[in-house]
Structure 1
Amino acid sequence: MANWSELPQDPLELITSYLSLTDVNRFSAVCQPWRFIAKMKRYAPVPQLPWVILTEDRETQKRKFFNMSEQRHYYIDLPELRGGYCVGCSFGWLFIVSPNIELYLVNPFTGVRYCLPPLPFLNEGFGLDNSLDGEFVDEEPYDEHSTTWYLKLLQKLTISRAVLSHDPNKCEDFFTMIYVRGSCRMAFCRPKDNIWTIVPHSPINDVICYKGNFYAVAAYNNLYEVHLGPDPEMRLIDPWVQECITGESRYLVDYFGKHLLLVCRNKVKCRDDDTAKEQDEDGDSDGEFIRYRHGTRTTFFAVFELDLEKEEWHRWNDLGGNALFVGTNRAIVGCASKFPGCKADCIYFTSDSTDFLASNKYGYNDVGVYNLIEDRMEAFYEDHIPNTSMPTWLLPNP
C-alpha cells in the first residue's frame, strides 16, 4: 500500500476544494502533511447548509452544534463561547454576550475574536451600570433578587439584534450594528472604536446592510434608511410598506444582492401561568402576582419584495427554488438544489428574540420548515431545546 503522506501536494490541494468543512477536518487528521495542506486553506470549503448553534453542555462546557447537511450533532470546545449567550450571527460570526455582559464578535471555526466597546444604555434600560466587575458564579436555583440571576437575565435581554455590514474575513473596515432592547435604540461602531455611536429611534424588529446602506424595519412594517456619521439619523421611507401583512417577527433579507425582502412571521403564544407570592424584604407576603412564562408556535410566513425606487411592494408566493434561514441571525439565502435534503421554496426557522423569556417547559422549540407554496409546516429538528441558549443559524465561514 502506498504511503499516504508521500502523495503529491498539488492533487491533495485540489481534493480539498471538493470537501465540506467537516470533511476538511477529517482530511487533516490523516497525517501531518495532509494537516499542513488543510491549514494552508488554498481553497475554501464547498458551500454547505447552515448549522444550528445550540446550548452549552454544563459539564464539559462544549457547545452543541447541529449539522444540517449530515443530520448529526457536534460538540466543539470553544473557550470564547464558555458561559456566553449568543445573541446573533452575521456572515458566520457570532455575537456573544459574556457572563459579565461584555460583547464579543467571534468566528467559532478560526477562534478570531473582536472585543467590542462596553454596551451602552444598560443603566437606562435595566437599572445597571455599564461597568460590571467581579467574577461570575453560577447559582442554582436562580434567585430573582441575586446579582447572578440578574446578570443571566441581562445576557438574554440586552441585545435583540446584531449585524455586520461586511464579512470581517474579506473587509477589515466593517460596521457592527446592534439594537439594545432596554433603551429601544440602535448603536454602531467600527473595529477600532472605543465607544458606540448612538442612533436615536423607537423599537425595531430587524436591521440589515443592503447594497452598502443600513435599513431597519419597525412596528407596522415602517421601513427606515439608517444614515451613519457623526450625527446619525433614521429616515422614514414612505410608509407604503405598512400595507404588508403584519407579524410577530419581521426579517429583512438580502436576496443575492438583487432584492430586499421583508419576511413577516406570524405566531401564537402558549401561556404557562405560575402563581407566586410576592414578598417584601422581611419575607412577608404582600400579595400575589402572575408570572407569564410562555412559548410560541409559528403559524405562517409572508414574503414581500420591497422596490425602493418605485416605493412599491410585491408579494412573493415562492422563493424561486431557493430556501431562507431566519431567526436571531442575519437571514441566510441558499439555492436548495445544491444541497441534498434542502427543501425548495421553504423557510427554515428557529426561535428568535421575541421568545427570550420562554420557560424551560416550552424551551426554544419553535423551530421548523414552512413551505411557502403549500402553506404547510414540517419539522427539521425533534430534540427539546432548553431555554438556556437561543438556537441560531450559523453559516460556517473559516
Structure 2
Amino acid sequence: MDWSEAFPELLDVVAQKYMVYYEDYLDFSGVCKFWHSIAAQAVTKVSYSNGLPSRLPSLFITDEKEDVEFRRLFFLSNRSTRKIRLPEVCGKNKSCISSSGWLLTVEDYIVEESDDTFDYTAAKLINPISRETIDLPKIDTCPGFVEHTDPDSEIRKVLFSIESPVVVVSWGRSMLGYCCIGDRNWTAIETDSGGMIFDITCYDGRVYYLDNYFRIRSCDVYGEDPVIVDVSQLPRCFYNIDLEVAYIIGLDDVDDGKKKLLVVIRELLDELMEVKVDGFEVRRYPLWRNIFETKSFHVFEYDLENGKWSKVNGLGKKTLFVGFGSSFWIEDTSGMIKSNCIYYTDHSPLHCQMLYRGYKRCKTEACRDMGIYHMCDRTIEPLLIEEKSCSNFTPPMWLQSM
C-alpha cells in the first residue's frame, strides 16, 4: 500500500492520536508532503494553547522587552525555535523561574490607598505550553521575605511537580519557604545555617539543598513541622576551591540500585577579584566586566545509603541539565541528546549573589555562556543558537519535559 495515497480522514485520526509530542510531529510530517500537510492541520487541533510539548528539555527565551506577551522555545530535537504567546508572564516588574516544565512568576506592584502605600507580590505557577495557571499565596506572606528589600530578596530557585501539591522556594542568602496549593500563606523553614543556598532539589520525598560551605542539608516539607537536618559535607580533599556556582541533583542508579545525590560544581575562568560582602569574602567578577565564561565542571556523588562520597568521572547514558532555574537529569534513547554530557545555560556568580541586578549588568552577553560539557574528555562544545535573550529579569533557562 502506498501510504501517501491513504484516505485523508484516516490519516487525520491517526495523526491526532499519534502526535503527543513535538518530536512525533516531526516523524509523522517527515514521511512525505501529503503527510506533512495532514500533520500541519492536525497540530492546530491539539488542546495545548502553544502547540505540542517536547519530549526533550527545551530552552525558554525571553525577549528584551518583558512587557511583550510573546516568548520563545528552542527545541533540541531539531534546533528550531517556536514563538509562543504567554501574556501571563509579561510585565516589566515580573520575573519567572522554572521547575519541572512549569514557571513560577512573581510580580511586584504598588497600590496607593489614601496616604499609605501597600506593596503586593503576586505569585502564580504557569504551564507555558497549555497556559494553565495555579494561583499561589503572595510571596510577602512568607515570614522574613518583607524584611529583605534589596535584590537578594528575589527568588532564586523553585521546586514544583504536578504530582505534588507542595511548592518550595529559595530566596535571599539562606531562606526557604513552602506552601501547599490552596494555602493562603507561605510557611518559612528555619535554616539557621549562615550559608548561602546555591541549589535545591526534591528527591525521594525530601527537599535537599546545597550551600557555599559544601554542605547538604534536608527537610521533609510533607511533615507537620519541617526541620532542617544535616546530611553531609563534601570533603575538602575532593574540592578545595571556593564555590562560585553549584547544583544538586537526585539520581537513581539503576545499575547498583542505590539512591544518590550529585553535586555539580561549575568552575568559571579565574579572572576574579576578592570583595567583601556582609562580612563574607566572596569571589566576584570586577564590576566593569560583563563576560562570564564556564571553564569546567566537577561532579561528585553522595551515597545516601552508605554515606560515602566519590568523584564522578562519567555519567554513562545520562545527561545533566543545569543553569538558572531547574537542575535535572535525563536518559535519552532517541540519540537527539548527547549522553555523558552536561548541558548548561547562562548562570554567573552574580545570578547567585545579586540575581537580577547582575543579569541587568550582563544583558548584552545573554545566551553567551551556554554549551555542552563532555565528561569523557572535559571539552566544551558551543550550544549554538541564533536566538538572544536580553531580559533584565529572566535569563534563558531549561524547561523540563512534562
TM-score (normalizing by structure 1):
0.74
Quote the offset at 1:103 in angstroms.
2.0
Q: Which residue is 2:55 aligned to?
A: 48
1:209-228 aligned at under 5 Å gives the runs 209-228=202-221
Q: Is the 8 A contact 2:25 2:39 kept in 1?
A: no
The whole-number CA distance in structure 1 between the counterparts of 2:207 and 2:379 is 33
Q: Is the 8 A contact 2:201 2:249 kept in 1?
A: yes
Q: Which residue is 1:277 aligned to?
A: none
The whole-number CA distance in structure 1 between the counterparts of 2:225 and 2:21 is 48
The whole-number CA distance in structure 2 between the counterparts of 1:49 and 1:294 is 31
Alpha-carbon distance change, 292 to 157 in structure 1, aligned in 2, over 3 angstroms: farther
Does residue 76 (structure 1) correspond to residue 77 (structure 2)? The answer is: no
In the alignment, residue 49 of structure 1 is paired with which amino acid? Answer: L
Q: Is the 8 A contact 1:214 1:226 kept in 2?
A: yes
Quote the offset at 1:267 in angstroms.
1.5
Secondary structure at the residue paired with 1:80?
A: helix
1:97-112 aligned at under 5 Å gives the runs 97-100=106-109, 101-112=121-132
Equivalent residue in structure 2 for 1:7, among 10, 13, 17: 10
The whole-number CA distance in structure 2 between the counterparts of 1:249 and 1:336 is 26
The whole-number CA distance in structure 1 between the counterparts of 2:40 and 2:167 is 39
Does residue 190 (structure 1) correspond to residue 197 (structure 2)? The answer is: no
Once the two structures are superposed, what CA deviation does each residue of 1:205-260 show, in whole Å capped at 9, x if it has no partner?
Answer: 11111111111111221011113344322111243555542531121112347432
Alpha-carbon distance change, 80 to 319 in structure 1, aligned in 2, over 3 angstroms: same
Equivalent residue in structure 2 for 1:346, among 300, 325, 341: 341
The whole-number CA distance in structure 1 between the counterparts of 2:271 and 2:122 is 32
TM-score (normalizing by structure 2):
0.74
Once the two structures are superposed, what CA deviation does each residue of 1:56-113 show, in whole Å capped at 9, x if it has no partner?
Answer: 3638531122122121222211111112655432221111222534222110111111
Quote the offset at 1:329 in angstroms.
2.6
Alpha-carbon distance change, 212 to 197 in structure 1, aligned in 2, over 3 angstroms: same
Alpha-carbon distance change, 378 to 163 in structure 1, aligned in 2, over 3 angstroms: same
Alpha-carbon distance change, 294 to 237 in structure 1, aligned in 2, over 3 angstroms: same
Q: Is the 8 A contact 2:326 2:400 kept in 1?
A: no
The whole-number CA distance in structure 2 between the counterparts of 1:190 and 1:19 is 32
The whole-number CA distance in structure 1 between the counterparts of 2:53 and 2:59 is 18
Does residue 394 (structure 1) correspond to residue 402 (structure 2)? The answer is: no
The whole-number CA distance in structure 1 between the counterparts of 2:43 and 2:77 is 24
The whole-number CA distance in structure 2 between the counterparts of 1:102 and 1:27 is 43
Alpha-carbon distance change, 195 to 242 in structure 1, aligned in 2, over 3 angstroms: farther
Q: Is the 8 A contact 1:57 1:63 kept in 2?
A: no
Q: Which residue is 2:269 aligned to?
A: 268
Does residue 305 (structure 1) correspond to residue 301 (structure 2)? The answer is: yes
The whole-number CA distance in structure 2 between the counterparts of 1:324 and 1:46 is 20
Q: Over aligned residue pairs, what C-alpha RMSD do you find?
A: 3.5
Identity of aligned residues (%): 23
Q: Which residue is 1:139 aligned to?
A: none
Q: Is the 8 A contact 1:69 1:339 kept in 2?
A: no
Quote the offset at 1:197 in angstroms.
1.0
Extract unaligned runs of 5+ from structure 2.
Answer: 30-35, 110-120, 254-258, 274-285
Once the two structures are superposed, what CA deviation does each residue of 1:356-387 show, in whole Å capped at 9, x if it has no partner?
Answer: 40423433522111111211112113544425
Quote the offset at 1:2 in angstroms.
7.0
Quote the offset at 1:14 in angstroms.
4.6
Quote the offset at 1:310 in angstroms.
1.3
Q: Is the 8 A contact 2:145 2:153 kept in 1?
A: no
1:26-45 aligned at under 5 Å gives the runs 30-31=40-41, 38-39=46-47
Q: Is the 8 A contact 2:64 2:391 kept in 1?
A: no
Alpha-carbon distance change, 179 to 220 in structure 1, aligned in 2, over 3 angstroms: same
Task: Count residues with an aligned counterpart.
Answer: 342
1:156-235 aligned at under 5 Å gives the runs 158-164=154-160, 167-168=161-162, 171=163, 173-181=164-172, 184-201=174-191, 202=194, 203-228=196-221, 229-235=223-229
Q: Is the 8 A contact 2:63 2:390 kept in 1?
A: no
In the alignment, residue 371 of structure 1 is paired with which amino acid? Answer: H
1:271-282 aligned at under 5 Å gives the runs none
Alpha-carbon distance change, 9 to 64 in structure 1, aligned in 2, over 3 angstroms: closer
In the alignment, residue 105 of structure 1 is paired with which amino acid? Answer: L
Q: Is the 8 A contact 1:81 1:96 kept in 2?
A: yes
The whole-number CA distance in structure 2 between the counterparts of 1:8 and 1:72 is 25
The whole-number CA distance in structure 2 between the counterparts of 1:18 and 1:196 is 35
In the alignment, residue 246 of structure 2 is paired with which amino acid? Answer: R
The whole-number CA distance in structure 2 between the counterparts of 1:271 and 1:362 is 18
Quote the offset at 1:319 in angstroms.
0.7
Secondary structure at the residue paired with 1:20?
A: helix
Q: Is the 8 A contact 1:222 1:241 kept in 2?
A: no
Does residue 248 (structure 1) correspond to residue 244 (structure 2)? The answer is: yes
Compare 204-213 and 49-58 and name the one that shifted more. Answer: 49-58
Q: Is the 8 A contact 1:325 1:347 kept in 2?
A: yes
Q: Which residue is 1:369 aligned to?
A: 372
Quote the offset at 1:122 in angstroms.
3.8
Secondary structure at the residue paired with 1:306?
A: strand
Q: Is the 8 A contact 1:160 1:179 kept in 2?
A: yes
In the alignment, residue 313 of structure 1 is paired with which amino acid? Answer: W
Once the two structures are superposed, what CA deviation does each residue of 1:150-172 show, in whole Å capped at 9, x if it has no partner?
Answer: xxxx5x951111112xx31xx2x
Quote the offset at 1:309 in angstroms.
2.1
Once the two structures are superposed, what CA deviation does each residue of 1:292-345 show, in whole Å capped at 9, x if it has no partner?
Answer: 5644211111111211221111111111022111112322322244233x3221
